[in-house]
Amino acid sequence: MLAVTVGLTALFLPQHLSYVGRSIPKDVALVSQPENEFSQAPLQHIVFLGDVMLGRYVEVLMHKYGAEYPFIHFPAILGNNADYTFVNFESAMAVPHVPTPSGGMVFSVDDALLGGMTTAGVTHASLANNHSLNYGVTGYHHAQNELIKHNIRTFGHPSEISTSSVVSVMVDGRIVSIVAVHTLFGEPDRQSLATLLETLNQQSDIQIVYIHWGEEYQPIHSKVQEDLATWLSTQGVDMVVGHHPHVVQDIGMIDGMPVFYSLGNTIFDQYFSREVQEGLALLVTPTSQNELEITIRPIDSLTVRSQPQPMVATSSAQFLATLADRSEVSLGSGIKQGKLTFPLRP
């Protein structure tokens, strides 16, 4: 991984954000999930984003320009319909905080900077990744506690599958369960995962696996990813959303289950190629026709480093066309239009 710490060009930073973070809804208490203090509201949409890493050079930028710096364009990315926003929080939080040096691979985030995530509308953060234990169990739990203090619900663990791996939310009258899974330390415990998914299939209407997997910088998914996705399909999962490769990977479909193999980077301090500065935002909406409608929004941070924004129309069209060419053939037309619709699986 290469970190570049050269100066910024064309920095556009308004004096304040006009966007006000939404109150965070109360998660539906399933499989013995603990209650929390989040307010409840009738919501209709979920947005999935990729890797968010607020350490290293991103931390330098945030201390220089403010905690809102990476999130300035989130209103345009999320639109007016983002009721729940999920990110992979790619870091631990050391106690006390230890800034990550340029090129360092042991990540820590300054808790003083988390307010920008809340203001931007992030509601849920997965900790099922290869960096959340960078400062041991203490750093993992400190990240949990600080994110919750900032009204961001955490879920998932780097090496365990349990009830804490799942959050369940109410979306337009349906219970949607999202399960955080990490694979880089080894194959997840399929028996534990199967048991959890069996319970969720009985208790919720839609099951989505949000998974940290794959090979870095590869635009096409691996056989290992496909094999695991195929197994997840047999467990009744409705959708798989991946992250970790730092680039956008192809979109597949297995027995009617959509697989977004990697959403790429959302906020990161990688600048060595165009591909690591591009990503996807997925707006997922259950419809009255018992379908999942998925809007695909390409984003990039090419104009201002570590500050993602929607791609301009011409770039977006080209990006989606290229993505369609390397994805499941039957999905090509929908990918090019930036919208896919899948019947919910029985």
> Which domain CATH number covers 303?
3.60.21
The closest of 27, 43, 127 to 78, measured between CA atoms, is 43
Q: 39 in a domain, yes or no?
A: no
CA dist 94 and 305 (Å) reads 25
Q: What is the pLDDT of residues 110-152, one digit of tens each?
A: 999 999 999 999 999 999 999 999 999 999 999 999 999 999 9
Query: Looking at residue 240, what is its pLDDT?
Result: 98
Query: Looking at residue 28, what is its pLDDT?
Result: 66
Q: 15 in a domain, yes or no?
A: no
Q: 168 in a domain, yes or no?
A: yes
Q: 61 in a domain, yes or no?
A: yes
Number of domains observed in the structure of the chain: 1
Q: 211 in a domain, yes or no?
A: yes
Q: Running DSSP on this structure, what letter comes out for residue 21?
A: P
Positive or negative, the Cα torsion across 86, 89, 95, 96?
negative
Query: Looking at residue 8, what is its pLDDT?
Result: 35
Q: What is the pLDDT of residues 20-58, one digit of tens each?
A: 334 445 676 555 443 333 334 556 889 999 999 999 999
Q: 35 in a domain, yes or no?
A: no
CA dist 33 and 336 (Å) reads 39
Query: Looking at residue 254, what is its pLDDT?
Result: 98
Q: 31 in a domain, yes or no?
A: no
What is the domain extent for residue 113? Answer: 46-343
Query: Looking at residue 289, what is its pLDDT?
Result: 87
Low-confidence residues in the chain, pLDDT < 50: 1-24, 32-40
Q: 247 in a domain, yes or no?
A: yes
pTM of the model: 0.90
Q: Classify residue 15 by burial, with Cβ atoms within 10 Å: 0-12, 13-18, 19+.
A: exposed
